[in-house]
Amino acid sequence: MIARITPPAWTRWVLPGIAAAILLGYPLVFGTVYTNIFIHFAIFAVFAASLNMLVSYTGLLSFGHALFFGGGAYATALALENIPGMGLFPAIFTGGLAGAAFALIVSPLLNRVRDTAFALLTLALGQLAYMACIKLRDITHGEDGVGGFPIPDLSIPGVVSVSMVPAQNFYYLAIVILGICLLLMWFLTKTPFGSIMIGIRDNPQRVDFLGFNIPLTKCLIFTLSGFFAGIAGSVYALFNNLVTPDGVFHIMTSFTPIMMVYVGGIGTFAGPIAGSGLMTIIEEIATRYTTQLVLFNGILLVLVVMFFRTGFVGLYLLLKQKLFEKESSR
Amino acid sequence: MTGILETRDLCHDFNGLKVLTHIQFSVQPGERHAIIGPNGAGKTTFFNLVTGVYTPASGRILFKDVDVTKAKPYRLTRMGLGRSFQITSIFQRQTPFQNIRLAILSKNRIRFNLFVRVDRMNAINEQTNEILQEIQLADEAHLPTSTLSYGKQRSLDLGMALATAPDLLLFDEPTAGMSRDESHSAVELIRKLTEGKTMVIVEHDMDVVFSLADRITVLHRGEILATGTPYEIQENDAVKKAYLGESEV
């Protein structure tokens, strides 16, 4: 094999550096409206990436991921409403824990089924959560949802205290938390545990015969996925200062990340992030000039399923290969 | 004297259709045991019972003197049982290196490690490369597995069974679907890899059986017809009549 020319070590930091600079400067340049759009994108990028842990890495299609997202959102909202003096980070962590707890509770059920039955069971569980949220009026305030709860300041006692109400301040909190979530999920795919996940996707029988306890492994995958979905839901609750059954437990909340995974590119880590970006942009444009958002989303999904099975990331890789690597590949 | 693997009165049926009746089977440590028999004799069912795919209708299975009648496959693997499959069971979308590495992770009891990058675990990767050398796939280690020839994919299947360092190896028709040449080199590979190890092999090809096994068990219609050395089996009248006599010898 020909030795590759390795660029100097500092070049590794050029792209992340540029990305960090853009992220830092973004709210200063683009103002409140676009800052909010970006936060929305980041929340759904993490939500879709948490679903992607199941869809792309473990081979399980969940139609009820809103259960964990909504669980996290409600946990944070209710904690802030009912517990005086609840801190910002404990509130977010509570959301993550709630998502993880819901996932842990349903995992013995989910472990019993695969394929279509798995998809339908998750759908049923998601709908169950939606109905329970509406009916449990004493806790969740039914269809009115939980709103107007206090948003705690980001404070290190005696040092600094920053209000999280202005969009720009909240932006920095959101991208740091969500960025850490994405990094953790990415890292997870590189660990031995990530290899086992991919093994379960490709050939569960062999994984069993290699000596791995599949039900227990899946249980941990569900719990981790639920945790990250819960964090996304929690940031959503803080961002909107309102959670309703229709907002976080509705079946569309489960479908949106599925679309993002498919549009962005199934089987890749970047897919759901790209999908979230693309769909956020389409939503913005479509709702600004027309009233037909659902039509545009529908057309997009049909196009992806019929012509670009590998989604946006697949298309990008294909173009890159066609445009830049033609000579070297021959 | 108890064997490493024993079955006592093992019976199984599929919805009333009797597949195995009262199987008394025993493998001694260090033995190379072949199970032969015509199609439908119950060989693969026997393997599936022993490896925990099915739970037997009645009877007991002992592995290393532990009752494993209801044990799941992953438990048996952890106890030291390795299996290859009649239909190649590997991870087609990954490289042979990644295939073997998963087995090596299991051997090292790394199951819930979320904190280290797997490609930085040098000891794991070294052990993986050693196995790839042994099964002669070092050159193809980083190609997509689906592009390998059938024979090489079969080797990978064997390699995964071996990589968990089992005390007992079960091979389900390791040469199934191979050409004469491929089959010949596969037998050589198995002979080399299982040097000094305990092995049970299910096989159709009589050349393979007589060249690999020290003891042979003949299954016929779900019952054990005879057990003995290759010579005894060749000379056994009941076996000749039921099985060998019909085709060759």
What are the Cα distances from residue B143, in Å, to A321, B121, B148? Answer: 19, 21, 8
| pLDDT of the residue at B201 | 93
Q: Which residue has the tokens 């695969």?
A: A114
Residue B206: pLDDT band (50, 70, 90) is confident
Contact of A133 with A140, CB cutoff 8 Å: yes
Using a 10 angstrom Cβ sphere, with 0-12 exposed, 13-18 middle and 19 or more buried, the burial of residue B119 is middle
Q: What is the mean pLDDT of residues A254-260?
A: 95
| DSSP classification of residue A109 | H
Contact of A253 with A72, CB cutoff 8 Å: no
Contact of A107 with A58, CB cutoff 8 Å: no
**Coil, helix or strand at residue A86:** coil
Q: Do B110 and A220 touch (CB under 8 A)?
A: no
Q: Could you give the count of Cα atoms lying within 13 Å of B111 in the half-sphere of its Cβ?
A: 17
Residue B245: pLDDT band (50, 70, 90) is low
**Chain B interface with A: residues with Cβ < 8 Å:** 51, 72-74, 77-78, 83, 89-94, 98, 101-103, 105-107, 110-119, 121, 124, 160-161, 164
On the question of pLDDT at B90 being above 60, the answer is yes
Instruction: State what percent of residues in chain B have pLDDT above 90.
Output: 57
CA distance B31 to B218: 16
Q: What is the mean pLDDT of residues B143-163?
A: 92
* Min Cα–Cα distance to chain B from A302, Å: 27
Q: Do B72 and A208 touch (CB under 8 A)?
A: yes
Q: Which residues contact B155 (CB under 8 A, 6 or more apart)?
A: B135, B136, B137, B186, B189
Q: Do A210 and B78 touch (CB under 8 A)?
A: no
Q: What is the mean pLDDT of residues A23-40?
A: 91
For residue B88 the two structure tokens come to 């190649």
Picking from B80, B102, B232, the residue whose alpha carbon sits closest to that of residue B168 is B80
Taking phi first (over 0 means left), then psi (-120 to 50 degrees means alpha), and beta for anything else, what does residue B219 get? beta
Q: Do B164 and A210 touch (CB under 8 A)?
A: yes
Q: What is the mean pLDDT of residues B60-85?
A: 93
CA distance A112 to A30: 49
* Min Cα–Cα distance to chain B from A191, Å: 4
Contact of B189 with B102, CB cutoff 8 Å: no
* Min Cα–Cα distance to chain B from A264, Å: 21
Instruction: State what percent of residues in chain A have pLDDT above 90.
Output: 71
Q: Do A210 and B117 touch (CB under 8 A)?
A: no
CA distance B170 to A207: 16
Domains defined for chain A, CATH in brackets: 19-298 (1.10.3470)
CA distance A90 to B179: 65
pLDDT digit string (tens) for B10-28? 999 888 888 898 999 999 9
pLDDT digit string (tens) for B106-129? 999 999 999 999 999 999 999 999
Q: Which residue has the tokens 């936060």?
A: A39
Interface with A, mutate which of B111, B143, B146 (most A CBs under 10 A): B111
Picking from B112, B122, B118, B108, the residue whose alpha carbon sits closest to that of residue A191 is B118
* Min Cα–Cα distance to chain A from B121, Å: 9
When the pLDDT of each residue in chain B is averaged and rounded to a whole number, the result is 89
* Min Cα–Cα distance to chain B from A188, Å: 6
Q: In A, which residues are within 8 Å of B117 by CB distance? A: 187, 190-191
CATH code assigned at B186: 3.40.50.300
| pLDDT of the residue at A248 | 95
Q: What is the DSSP string of A236-301?
A: HHHHHSEE-IIIIISHHHHHHHHHHHHHH-TTSSSHHHHHHHHHHHHHHHHHHH-S-HHHHHHHHH
Given CA atoms A21, A23, A27, A33 in this order, what sign does their dihedral have? positive
Q: Which residues contact A104 (CB under 8 A, 6 or more apart)?
A: A219, A222, A223, A226
For chain B, strand residue ranges (E) read 5-14, 17-27, 32-36, 58-63, 66-67, 81-84, 168-172, 198-202, 215-220, 223-228
Picking from A256, A246, A225, the residue whose alpha carbon sits closest to that of residue A63 is A256
Q: In A, which residues are within 8 Å of B90 by CB distance? A: 203, 206
Instruction: State what percent of residues in chain A have pLDDT above 70.
Output: 97
Q: What is the DSSP string of B154-208?
A: HHHHHHHHHHT--SEEEEE-TTTT--HHHHHHHHHHHHHHTTT-EEEEE-S-HHH
CA distance B165 to B78: 10
Residue B249: pLDDT band (50, 70, 90) is very low
Helices (H), A83-156: 88-110, 115-135, 137-140
How many domains is chain B built from? 1
Q: Do A202 and B115 touch (CB under 8 A)?
A: no
What are the Cα distances from residue A306, in Å, to A46, A262, A303? Answer: 26, 12, 5
pTM equals: 0.91
Least confident residue range of A68-72, A119-123, A315-319: A315-319
CA distance A89 to A87: 6
pLDDT digit string (tens) for B154-196? 999 999 999 999 999 999 988 888 888 888 888 888 888 888 8
CA distance B55 to A60: 27
When the pLDDT of each residue in chain A is averaged and rounded to a whole number, the result is 91
State yes or no: ipTM above 0.85: yes
Q: Do A190 and B119 touch (CB under 8 A)?
A: yes
Q: Do B102 and A195 touch (CB under 8 A)?
A: yes
Facing residue for A202 by CB, picked from B51, B93, B119: B93
CA distance B10 to B227: 16
Contact of A296 with A303, CB cutoff 8 Å: no
How many CB pairs (< 8 A) connect A and B? 83
On the question of pLDDT at A105 being above 50, the answer is yes
- The range of the structural domain enclosing residue B214 comes to 5-246
Instruction: Specify the amino acid at residue A172.
Output: Y
**Coil, helix or strand at residue B121:** coil
Q: In B, which residues are within 8 Å of A188 by CB distance? A: 114
Q: In B, which residues are within 8 Å of A199 by CB distance? A: 91, 102
* Strands of the sheet with B215-220, listed across from one edge: B81-84, B168-172, B198-202, B32-36, B215-220, B223-228
On the question of pLDDT at A153 being above 50, the answer is yes
| pLDDT of the residue at B18 | 87
For A141-253, strand residue ranges (E) read 146-147, 154-156, 160-162, 242-243
| pLDDT of the residue at A325 | 66
Other beta carbons within 10 Å of A289: 8
On the question of pLDDT at A326 being above 90, the answer is no
- Residue B73's closest chain A neighbor by CA? A209
CA distance A222 to A107: 7
| pLDDT of the residue at A329 | 46
* Min Cα–Cα distance to chain A from B238, Å: 36
